[in-house]
Amino acid sequence: MHQMHGTGETGAVQPAIELRGIDKRFGAVHANKEIDLKVDKGTIHGIVGENGAGKSTLMSILYGFYQADAGTIHVDGKLCDIRGSEDAIAVGIGMVHQHFMLVETFPVLENVILGVEGGAVLRDGVDRAREELQRLEREYSLDIDPDAIVGDLSVGLQQRVEILKALFRGAEILILDEPTGVLTPQEADHLFRILETLKEQGKTVVLITHKLREIMAATDNVSVMRQGAMVAHRKTAETSPEELSELMVGRKVLLRLEKGDANPADTVLKVENLCVDNAQGVRKVKNASFNVRAGEIVGIAGVSGNGQSELLEALGGIRSVSEGVVELNGQDVTPGKGVDAAELRRRGVAHVPEDRHRMAMVTAFSAKEAAILGYEDDPAYQKGVFLDWQAISNATANMMSEFDVRPANPDLKAANFSGGNQQKLVLAREIMRNPELLLVGQPTRGVDIGAIEFIHKRIVAMRDAGKAVLLVSVELDEIMSLADRILVMCDGAIIGEVAASEANERVLGLMMAGVDPNEAKAVEGQS
């Protein structure tokens, strides 16, 4: 770390971080435009902004992953030249990554000490490291066993290992980029309690999130970015979700979805006694039976990891079925029995998988390659024996314009789109096929509020056009506002159904925790 001359003004309280005039371009994209930002020490500071507004780029500059083209970074009043993560760590900045950088086969303790500069910890003895880790773990109520194998931990616990790793390296400032996207509501609550404790101990937290309720509940200050520029700073107590969304998007956003009653018609999807096993032979879906009719949205609620992902993947033909029958418009299409994902697509099933990196998008591809993934055999994309790249480019440009994917450049590598824009492209690809049945998992993960409003409207429009929609989401708000009927999954089984009109967070929450549906409704009735 090259710390330069101190420039602190004597007497005044120094902000933990001060960015001045940070500017960054990626080719034609002006990702950060002369950004100024002050983050006070001992506070939780939120950063919000539309997809592609430049939030992750700014944090990557602070963490040394990218170098700014211009501008300065002061940490604790000192001018710093941060050229890599080692420099960032040396001035006390820690990053809690969205995609965890942990070795799954190693225990927590080894993951935490792995890569600490010069292996000094190892020479000092693993026991001292263990003591220090246990102290941190107690001090911040992290609830982690140092000897647990990381691969056996839930996503929420793995994230806590990342936090522990940063604290172990002496982080005074922690950056979290959309930390709750992959968490259950309970795990998210726990994370916010940890952040609160960090703050009480004088640490500084920078939190990027699209969830305005998290901003309102957890932060002291909030800064808003729009199209690469910093457009506003507010004390959280002096703003509102409405004001923030307007600042972000530049127009009023409907924070509530308006939709009429469903008019369900014939059964499109019929699932009977479906059982799905994972690669280790563990039964993840147990005798699921339900149907989805044309003109309705059926939501599946559940704490993540309770089989809903495997269920959706099996129905999309990317995971094999161990037992049971799946029918589409009365025809047997049980995946595995000669039916695969391609055949399902031909029969009008579109699938937006939950994990866009693993399943839906090859990030090394260009946007136009990603935009036809799975649909390469569409005659509209062919010219003789070759792919018709002009037609594909035009189709991609059309998807980008319909779903407001930015930048609207079909030739840009998929990896160089912001997370939310990648998601919009996958949704555009599937929804614009106008399928009979849409299987959609976590449709708005990582997506900004303006785009959420748009995506929700598109899904309702599909329903109103007589299509069947099966929605899996861990966001109860999303399930409750979109679905007409809600199935609750717990431990691989569908344990009950609730009409959207009767649903509320408490009843669903109890059922998701395995409480019998009648009991859950009775408990709610008494309260």
Backbone angles phi, psi at 183, to 5 degrees: -100, 155
Nearer to ligand ATP, 53 or 244 (CB): 53
Min CB(500)–ligand ATP separation in Å: 29
Nearer to ligand ATP, 137 or 478 (CB): 478
Residues that bind ligand ATP (CB under 6 A): 26, 29, 31, 49, 51-57, 407, 416-421, 448
Min CB(418)–ligand ATP separation in Å: 3
Which 3 state secondary structure label does DSSP give 498? strand
DSSP calls for 342-395: HHHHHTTEEEE-S-IIIII--TTSBHHHHTTTT-TT-GGGEETTEE-HHHHHHH
Rama region for 343: left / alpha / beta (φ>0; ψ in -120 to 50; rest): alpha
Residue from 428, 313, 417, 317 nearest 365 by CA: 417
Nearer to ligand ATP, 142 or 452 (CB): 452
Min CB(248)–ligand ATP separation in Å: 10
Q: How far is CA 189 from the centre of its chain?
A: 16
- Burial group, residue 523, by CB count within 10 angstroms (0-12, 13-18, 19+): middle
Min CB(98)–ligand ATP separation in Å: 9
Nearer to ligand ATP, 452 or 488 (CB): 452
Nearer to ligand ATP, 56 or 184 (CB): 56
Nearer to ligand ATP, 272 or 355 (CB): 355
What is the C-alpha to C-alpha distance for residues 428 and 430, in angstroms, rounded to an integer?
Answer: 6
- Cβ contact 206:48 at 8 Å: no
- Alpha-helical segments (H) within 85-143: 85-90, 108-113, 120-124, 126-139
Min CB(415)–ligand ATP separation in Å: 7
Min CB(456)–ligand ATP separation in Å: 17
Nearer to ligand ATP, 334 or 422 (CB): 422
Min CB(402)–ligand ATP separation in Å: 18
- Burial group, residue 105, by CB count within 10 angstroms (0-12, 13-18, 19+): exposed
Min CB(28)–ligand ATP separation in Å: 9
Min CB(137)–ligand ATP separation in Å: 30
What is the C-alpha to C-alpha distance for residues 477 and 30, in angstroms, rounded to an integer?
Answer: 34
Nearer to ligand ATP, 283 or 413 (CB): 413
Min CB(85)–ligand ATP separation in Å: 16
Buried b (16+ CB within 10 A) or exposed e, 69-87: eebebbbbbbbbebeebeb
Q: How far is CA 293 from the centre of its chain?
A: 29
Nearer to ligand ATP, 55 or 284 (CB): 55
Task: Tell how strand 78-81 and strand 2-6 pair up.
Answer: antiparallel
Nearer to ligand ATP, 31 or 344 (CB): 31
In the block, residue with structure tokens 């449709």: 443
